[in-house]
Amino acid sequence: MAEMAGDPYGFDERGGRGWRRQFAGALGGACAIALVWGLVSWGHGLLTRDSGQIPFLRAEDGPMKIVPEDPGGLKLERTDMAVSRIVGGVAGSAVEPGLAPQAEGLADEDQPQPYLTAPDPLATPSDGAQDPAAAPDADPDAIERAVARALQEQQMGDDPTASQVEDEDESSSLSAVAAPPPPLRPRAPTRAEMAAAAAAAAAAIPAPTPAATSLATGDIGVQLGAFNSQAIAESQWRRAQRRHEDLLSGLAHAVTTVESGGRTLYRLRAGPVADRGQAQELCAALKSRGDACIVATIR
């Protein structure tokens, strides 16, 4: 009851805090109003801004640069060189264009050498007459000696001793040039000799051994394979004869049938040979060339 009736002395605690709240609310409202007003003013200024108020940088009247009457500054070295004069705009003396040096000629050992053509051994004596135009070129050393001799005659005048020595040198050089060249190759055989050699070689070739007509039962031979048809077996035999003519010459072939796995196979066999050892050697030679082969007895 005492709380409901209040403080008998008249002091109210809630009434002391009321004016503080009112002051804080008024201050916050004033700040909010000021913030809104500032934002509105700033936005209005952006929207209504005049573009003529933007400042421009304008150049001043008159020349941009002026050469001073007394430039002064630091004097640098090597300013009198040709490159400095060219950069500075000073015309220098005209430079004559240089030409590349001429290419060096071939040495004497690199020059094309004269060559001699061997005479045709099959030509007739009348055809073997020497043509003056086909003579070999003169020796370059002999030409040089002749030129030197002419110069010495001009310098020495009428000296009979020097003329005699030079005449001997010239005669020796001319005799060396006129000497016939040695033969380039051995003499080729004549047509008659070649024909006789061909006839002798043909006579020395032995006649081919006639092929056996057939194979008999019990003969020893070799089997070259089993094929699906007789036509394939015959074609393989012709192929083997072309590839191994030196091994299969003189042998006959036979195609026999055998039932294996419910189908008919055609076996290709060749023979006869003297014995089983010879058949094994024949098979080894065929296997070394990549073909299949086994020793078999003709049945």
Please report which confidence band the pLDDT of residue 77 belongs to, taking 50, 70 and 90 as the band edges: confident
Taking CA 141 as the corner, what is the angle to CA 135 and CA 145, rounded to the nearest 5 degrees?
A: 115
Of residues 123 and 145, which shows the higher confidence score? 145
Is the confidence at residue 198, as pLDDT, over 50? yes
Average pLDDT on 135-156 reads: 64
Of residues 21 and 149, which shows the higher confidence score? 21
Range of the domain at 252: 220-297
Q: Distance between CA 249 and CA 270 in Å, rounded?
A: 10
Of residues 194 and 31, which shows the higher confidence score? 31
The pLDDT, as a whole number, for residue 278 is 92
Q: What is the DSSP letter of 290?
A: T
**Main-chain phi, psi angles of 28, to 5 degrees:** -65, -40
Q: Distance between CA 270 and CA 98 in Å, rounded?
A: 88
Is the confidence at residue 123, as pLDDT, over 60? no
Is the confidence at residue 270, as pLDDT, over 60? yes
In this structure, is residue 16 part of a structural domain?
no
Please, what sign has the CA dihedral across residues 215, 221, 224, 227?
positive
In this structure, is residue 52 part of a structural domain?
no
Of residues 231 and 205, which shows the higher confidence score? 231
Average pLDDT on 257-284 reads: 91
In this structure, is residue 289 part of a structural domain?
yes
Average pLDDT on 118-132 reads: 48
Q: How many domains does the chain have?
A: 1
The pLDDT, as a whole number, for residue 33 is 96
Instruction: Return left, alpha or beta for 168; rule: phi > 0 is left, psi -120 to 50 is alpha, else beta.
Output: alpha
In this structure, is residue 238 part of a structural domain?
yes
Instruction: Return left, alpha or beta for 106; rule: phi > 0 is left, psi -120 to 50 is alpha, else beta.
Output: beta
Average pLDDT on 3-26 reads: 67
CATH of the domain at 271: 3.30.70.1070
Q: DSSP string spanning 169-226?
A: HHHHHHHHHHSPPPPSSPPPPPHHHHHHHHHHHHHHSPPPPPPPS---TT-EEEEEEE
Please report which confidence band the pLDDT of residue 173 belongs to, taking 50, 70 and 90 as the band edges: very low
In this structure, is residue 282 part of a structural domain?
yes
Is the confidence at residue 65, as pLDDT, over 60? yes
pTM, entire model: 0.32
Mean pLDDT of the chain: 72
Of residues 287 and 198, which shows the higher confidence score? 287
Average pLDDT on 162-189 reads: 51
In this structure, is residue 257 part of a structural domain?
yes
Q: Distance between CA 33 and CA 10 in Å, rounded?
A: 39
The pLDDT, as a whole number, for residue 205 is 47
Strands (E), the chain: 220-227, 252-260, 263-271, 294-297
Average pLDDT on 261-284 reads: 91
Residue 268's closest CA among 294, 243, 250, 245? 294
By 3-state DSSP, what share of the chain in percent is helix, strand and coil, each rounded to 5?
45, 10, 45
